[in-house]
Amino acid sequence: MEIDRRLAAGECLGPLAGVPVVVKDTIDMAGFPTTAGWSLLYGKTGGIDLIPERDAPVVSRLRDSGAVIIGKTNVPVFSWSGAHANDSWAGPTLNVLMPDRVPGGSSSGTASAVASAMVVLGLAEETGGSIQNPASAQDLVGVKPTTGLVSNAGVMPLSSNLDVVGPIARCVRDAAICLDALAGYTSEDPKTLAGIGKKPKGGYTSKLSLDALEGKRLALYGCGWRNQPLSKEAEQLYDRAKEELERLGAVLIDDPFAGSGFAGLRKATARHGSYDARGLESLPYDVHRYLGRLGPNAALKTFAEFAKATEKESLFGAMGALRSLLHLPQFEAILAHPSQPPNIDEFIAVKQEYLATFEEVFAHHHLHACVFPQMLQELPPLHGREFIRETTVSEINIAGLPAVTVPAGYYASGSPFGLIFVGEMWSESRLLAYAYAYECSTRHRKPPPLR
C-alpha cells in the first residue's frame, strides 16, 4: 500500500520498489549477526555474535533500489559445501522441488526461498559453484558475475580472489533487473574499478530479445573442456537442448576446447577429490580484513582472535570444514601470518593461463558463448555421501568468467536439468540475452508443488 501511495503521488521509485528479497547469511546486514552457518558464530548456540555496524555495499544497493529485505538465509558451515547446508546450526535446507535431494550450496537457503515463491529475488554468493549449483538444483536462474563487477566487501570471505555476489531468480528478466542494482564501483572494493564502463548502456535488460540466439556460435561441452563424461540421461537431455538451440538459430560448435590444453589446467587440490581450491590460500588474510570492517565494537577484530575463539572446533582441525586447505602449498605459511598480504603466485599463474586459453579458443572459433549442462548427472540424495557433479566450477571461478544458469527440463526422477551459458569477461548482458531467448522459447520451468 505504501508503494501504491508513493506511485500515485508521482514519486520516482527504485527498480526493485516493494520487491521482497532475501540475503545470504554471509552478507553483512547492519545489526544482524553474520553466522556463516556455524554454531560457534551464533550467540544462541553458545557462540560469539559477529554483528556488523554497516551493510555490505550490495545490501545498501538493494535498499536504495527500494527492495524489501525480509531476512537472511541458511548456509553450510563457512559456505564450504556446494551441495547442501546439512551441517548448519539452523539445520539442513530442503530442496523445494525434491526435499529428498540436495538443494545446492552454499547459497542453499537463498535458492529455496526463491523457489518456494517466498520472495522474488535472493542474493547469493559464489566462490566455487555457490550460485550456479543451488540455482540449477532448484530449477532457477542464477547469475555468477565477472569477478570485479559486483562488490564483495562486507561478505564473510572464503577468498577475495574468487568470491562474487549475484542474484538468484525464477526468471531471466528478474535476475537482470537485480544485477543492474548490484553492479558497479564501490571504493570499499578496489577490484570493482575494473568494471567501470563495462555495464551495458540501458542496463542488463537492454539486450533481452527472443531472437538473441540467432546466428550465435556456441561451444558445446566435451573432453577439451573437462575430461568427465555426462551420464546417459544427462546426455539425452543435452541432445534435446541442442535441438532447441538450433531451432532458435544458434550455431553449435562441437568441443572447440579439444587440443587447447584447457582441461589440463584444472588440478584437484581439495574437497571431495575434484575441487581446485587454488585462490583460497588468502582466506586467513581475507577474514582478518573482513573482521576489521565490522566496526570498533565487534566481538572479534582480528584473525588471531577469531582462531582463538573457535579453537575447540577449528576450521582447519582434523574434523574442520576447511581442513583440506592445508593441502595447498602456500596455505600453512599464510595461516601463520594472517595479517600480512599473502603470496598467491600459483593462483595468479593458473588464472592467467585459463584466461589466455579461453580467449584463444573463442577467437579461433569465433565463439559467442559456451552452453553446457550445469551438472554431469542428476542431483544426489540430501543426506547421502555424494556431492553435486558440475561442469564449470573451478574453471570459471579461477578465471573470473561470468555465467548464467537457466532451467532446461527434468530427469525421469523429476530432478531438474539446467543449462549454463559461459562467456568472456563482462559479457553478462549477452549471456542473459541468450538465456532469455532459450527460456521464453522452451518454458521448461514448472512451479514446484508447495507441500
Distance CA 397, CA 358 (A): 13
Report helix, strand or coil for 395.
helix
DSSP count for the chain of H helices, then E strands: 12, 10
Distance CA 42, CA 16 (A): 31
Residue 1 lies in a domain: no
pLDDT averaged over 10-residue windows placed end to end, the chain, 451 residues: 82 93 98 98 97 98 98 97 96 97 98 98 98 98 98 97 98 98 97 97 97 98 97 98 98 98 90 80 97 97 97 92 89 94 94 98 98 98 94 97 99 98 98 99 93 65
Q: What CATH number should be reported for the domain holding residue 33?
A: 3.90.1300.10
Residue 373 is predicted with a pLDDT of: 99
A 10 A CB-CB count for 396 gives 25
Tell me the Cα Rg of the chain: 21
Residue 7 lies in a domain: no
Which residues are catalytic, by number?
24, 106, 130
Q: Could you tell me which of 407, 394, 349, 399 has the C-alpha nearest to residue 226?
A: 394
Q: Could you tell me which of 293, 301, 302 has the C-alpha nearest to residue 54?
A: 293
Residue 189 is predicted with a pLDDT of: 97
Domain that holds residue 205: 12-442
- In eight-state DSSP terms, residue 146 is P
CA distances for 231 relative to 133, 378, 417, angstroms: 17, 8, 12
pTM metric for this prediction? 0.97
> With contact defined as beta carbons under 8 Å apart, do 354 and 398 qualify?
yes
Residue 269 is predicted with a pLDDT of: 78
Residue 73 lies in a domain: yes
Distance CA 128, CA 263 (A): 17
Residue 357 lies in a domain: yes
Report helix, strand or coil for 375.
strand
Residue 303 lies in a domain: yes
> With contact defined as beta carbons under 8 Å apart, do 336 and 281 qualify?
no
Residue 79 lies in a domain: yes
Phi, psi of 383 (to 5 degrees): -110, 20
Per the structure, the count of domains in the chain is 1
Parallel, antiparallel or unpaired: strands 68-73 and 20-24: parallel
Phi, psi of 277 (to 5 degrees): -90, 10
> With contact defined as beta carbons under 8 Å apart, do 193 and 185 qualify?
yes
Residue 3 lies in a domain: no
Residue 414 lies in a domain: yes
- Whose cell is 573432453? That residue is 223
> SS3 letters for 209-269?
CCCCCCCCEEEECCCCCCCCCCCHHHHHHHHHHHHHHHHCCCEEECCCCCCCCCHHHCCCC
